[in-house]
Structure 1
């Protein structure tokens, strides 16, 4: 029965229809490929706009991982260090491992800081450049405490001048009554540049039994001089943040931010 039915069907029309559908599908696939190919540069540009230059070369970069470094650990990543070092810091997975990286790679990191600051050309940043370079030179020459003290003061000066009274929105409250919600107002790039403030300005009071922080702290650097606070790793962290801030401000001044 089936054989008789199939013998009576004219498959030429079906075959013709399938051929047409195949050609349409192939044409659609070619069109989609062309669209994707044409969009690729635009997508790359869009992605690049999210991150500073040193982070753009890192594949499969998750913003949450960047956030952990800059906000949770207070280690600057905006414009420095070089991509390979930045990726190692991001992939490290813990604060202790990242601090070990700061200790092991301090020489190349401050070299990157020096290069970035030397590239700043705006009048806004120019007054700060000699002090940033002096901090780098001090650490390079083995004067760790001097480097950290100068970098810490430079950070405070830049933050105060840039944010003015609004800085209180981005730094912790003495009684812990302030959150990081204000950082939600920033663009991705602004967030990466300024988020290290949150850890840099953590509050503590020795007279109330507070322990001097072991990681870089602007307040401890200025008001709790001790071997616990002053270290090569903290000096590196302070210099990174100071130079990163100058890089960001220079971008804004010349219209690249």
Structure 2
């Protein structure tokens, strides 16, 4: 390229030599319009991996981007252009954004462990260990849970993160818009306050009963496509595990909490809805189990509000 090929970048459009005039046409031509013709026919939904892009309908991409001329990029050697920078990490990000974990709840925004994580392992944590991961807890705690070495370590992360979990639950239900959802949200807030004040036994009982109330009242075939028995019956576990990941993240931990327990059985240490009701004991009523119950109640309430119309139909 010679000097004559380079557009002049004059800014003295009024000719008085002080540089205060408007840009000359040559400058405008160089800066004035990204070529967005490649975007025609782009399936934005597939490209963005399930992210809600309905707001983009009718968007004039050319006007939105202002239209810089990118013809100079044709034939560009990206490797040479980036100077050898390691971009392998971008593959994981592309998997995450592009649909490897589509439809995740909003609390997963900012989770980085997904680029190294397997969906089958995630389903195991949800369905077997019964750890609630939808709407709560925070992305930072999810990262720690996903990278923990085993189930005991994950339970310890929940125990140690109890203060943050309380804030996460209160914040999540505090943002629910419908009046009916907010009428249930007050019990989530009461449960969180009880844990904060050291009354985790009361909190566990309240949150567990709130889950039962919400499930029996709103999870029905005519509202969400299946009945509450999908959660409560162990014979329904295979059907539940085949639901979309977002639904599994809410209902899976509830199903794990409905594991068989009968009065007279050894009381489990893991959170159990049946032992909470029929096996009152210091072995079952613990702070960490009250957190499981609280997160379950929060996730179920948020899911019913955000992903169904059960409250708006009332």
Same fold (TM over 0.5): yes
Give 1:169 shift: 2.6
Q: Is the 8 A contact 2:101 2:119 kept in 1?
A: no
- Off by >6 Å, runs of 4+ in structure 1: 40-43
Alignment partners' CA distance in 1, 2:255 and 2:179: 27
The correspondence for 2:177, drawn from 95, 109, 121, is: 121
Q: Tell me: CA distance 1:138–1:121, structure 2 relative to 1, closer, same or farther (3 Å).
A: same
Alignment partners' CA distance in 2, 1:43 and 1:224: 42
The correspondence for 2:97, drawn from 44, 58, 66, is: 44
Secondary structure of 1:180's counterpart equals helix
Q: Is the 8 A contact 1:201 1:219 kept in 2?
A: yes
Alignment partners' CA distance in 1, 2:133 and 2:96: 23
Q: Is the 8 A contact 2:263 2:278 kept in 1?
A: no
Secondary structure of 1:195's counterpart equals helix
Alignment partners' CA distance in 2, 1:54 and 1:101: 17
TM-score of the pair, normalised by structure 2: 0.62
Q: Any residues of structure 2 matched to 1:188-199 within 5 Å, and which?
A: 188-199=245-256
Alignment partners' CA distance in 2, 1:187 and 1:145: 33
Q: Is the 8 A contact 1:144 1:235 kept in 2?
A: yes
Alignment partners' CA distance in 1, 2:230 and 2:256: 13
Bigger share in helix:
1
Matching residue of 1:250: 305
Deviations 1:43-69 (CA, angstroms, capped at 9, x unpaired): 836457431122242231432232122
Alignment partners' CA distance in 1, 2:266 and 2:136: 30
Q: Is the 8 A contact 2:231 2:258 kept in 1?
A: no
The correspondence for 1:169, drawn from 230, 240, 264, is: 230
Q: Is 1:137 aligned to residue 190 of structure 2? A: no
Structure 2 spans left out of the alignment, 5+ residues: 1-73, 79-92, 222-226
Q: How many residues align?
A: 217
CA RMSD of aligned residues (A): 2.8
Alignment partners' CA distance in 1, 2:153 and 2:94: 36
Alignment partners' CA distance in 1, 2:236 and 2:245: 18
Q: Is 1:154 aligned to residue 210 of structure 2? A: yes
Q: Is the 8 A contact 1:65 1:90 kept in 2?
A: no
